[in-house]
Amino acid sequence: MKQLGVLDTAFINLEHPNTPQHVGGLGIYDPSTAPGGFVRFKGVIANFERRLLKHTIFRSRLLKVPGNVDRPYWVEDANFDVEFHIRHIALPQPGDWRQLCILVARLHARPLDMNRPLWEAYIIEGLDNIPGVPKGGFAIYTKMHHSLVDGAGGSSIMSVIHDLEPDPAAVPQAPEVVTVDVAPGTMYLAGSAAVNNIKNSVKMLTGGVSVLRDLGKMAVGMAQKKIPIPSIKSPRTRFNTPVGPYRVFEAAEFELADVKFLKDASKVKINDVVLSVIAGGLRRYLEHHNELPDESLSVSIPLDMRTRRGLTDENNQVGSVFVELHTNIADPLERLAAVYKSSQEAKIYGENSPLVDVLRLAGVMSPAITTSLVSSYVNNGLTRHLPLGISSVVSNVAGPNFPLYSAGAQMVRYYGLGLLTPGVGLFHLIFSSNGIMTMSILGDRNAMPDPAFYRECIEQSFDELLAAAKNIANTGSAAKSNSTPAPAPAKRSAAKSSVAKKAASSSASSASAKKPAVTQAVKKPVARKAKSASSAKASASASVNGAVADDTKVVPIKNTVS
């Protein structure tokens, strides 16, 4: 039995039917790598069960303290049934990308059963009309409560539920020893709660003094202009209305080589490229709806606090800072430079501000008090009256740079899903693995009734930025040359012109001429470029970082709907 940490408890206390506090992921798998070339549902269950035996957290449920006066405990569930947590479903005909997105959005909107271990998995078949999905391919959608894992720990959880080779039977098995906890009695929990409340009071007092000291240092740094002042007065958008219980899901896909080219050409970080692409997408989307503010929008960026706090026994070690997106700048390269400057300022602020840990307040107070405040806050729509205008949360997670398998089937794509908070109805989760970067879009259905259009805006924003960067690179190369441009550079110029033209147009037909980044499968511009399945497969096989062998069959998965 183990008591939850402060931040882990915060996510339990913030749980509400409209804003459940779980995160998720959608993986697509190629069964041809499995022994015999196919996978049975029983094999997937056996694979999950075998691996979960080694990690008690997936077999543990919450045990609340009487009166909810103290942080709850994890206890290993004596009645744990893996088949309750893994469900087998199929898409209805015709089984296309749009149906998969709708299904995943519905599954992600449902709160977890807080009386059982806080995770679920769905094996989804019937992906017959999603171009690029391998024959017989299937998807696995998983969701787990944020109290179990944060974003930085998500990749390690992926390795927990996957194998590193296609034949799990070839991995030596340890003796299966399953332990369970005997739940303590009411008197024991009440006594522990009394002791813990005294300890917490002392910690809050000393912590409050420490926070005041750090705030004083930060104020001095701001006065001396050594610490930048964050922008907290960004304009509010449709994503700052009270969040409802329904969700939408979409995803775009980019070749990591193109993202790295943008990073190197502009001398910025990959996060800056991502933020600039999102800025361009939001700009296009809100402009289309005649809702684009004149001032810059801002987003919240989760921070991995492990480097600040060191290793702890908490599942969550996350903070957050605000970054301006400069959506008021039309030029994509100027906007990228401005985003880079803002992100560097946010980094300095995050390193010096105790406020990046503000989420811990939801776990410090008694759960009985916090849950009542959260219910009142959400049910009365108090987000309407808050001054903060954070349009989205953007989380970037680096995935494993090696193949993963489930019951022998290789994972060829992965899309992460975050969570929505009462005042922020849009979440972007970026996941990079084996030369492909996916950008998953989770939104409140009322705030974003047209997620496919927003995906197109994101894709066009990326194309526009890539075309502009290539234009500068080609112009610089031509300026350095003393001779007349050779046919090869001329051909690159033509390709560049085609990309720029496509980025400026929302027409799918004009987009079909674009050639770069063939492996951007789910990314609509890529899908339009890769009309040839054979060329798309060839490009996908040649992974950017060489981590995927030529025969791993990493194929472009298109999310376009015919």
Percent of residues in the chain assigned helix, strand, coil, to nearest 5: 45, 20, 35
Based on the residue annotation, tell me whether 108 is a catalytic residue of this protein.
no
- For the sheet with 86-90, list strands across it: 86-90, 119-125, 138-145, 22-30, 409-417, 405-406
Residues in the chain: 562
The residue among 450, 324, 362, 406 whose CA lies nearest residue 147 is 362
Give the Cα separation of 558 and 562 in Å (integer).
11
Give the Cα separation of 146 and 64 in Å (integer): 17
Do residues 339 and 347 lie in contact, with contact meaning Cβ atoms separated by under 8 Å?
no
* Selection from 248, 279, 238, 247 nearest residue 383 by Cα: 238
Whole-number pLDDT of residue 202: 58
145: alpha, beta or left? (left if phi > 0; alpha if psi -120 to 50): beta
Q: Which residues of the chain have a pLDDT value below 70? A: 150-157, 168-185, 188, 190, 193-232, 304-318, 349-361, 363, 385-388, 477-562
Catalytic choice (22, 108, 146, 428): 146
**CA–CA separation, 558 and 512 (whole Å):** 13
Enter the pTM of the model.
0.79
Q: What is the pLDDT of residue 443?
A: 97
Domain ranges, ordered by start, for the chain: 2-171+183-474
**In this predicted structure, what is the pLDDT of residue 70?**
85
Q: What is the distance between the alpha carbons of residues 44 and 234, in angstroms, rounded to a whole number?
A: 47
**Cβ 42 vs Cβ 350: under 8 Å:** no
- CATH architecture, domain 2-171+183-474: 2-Layer Sandwich (3.30)
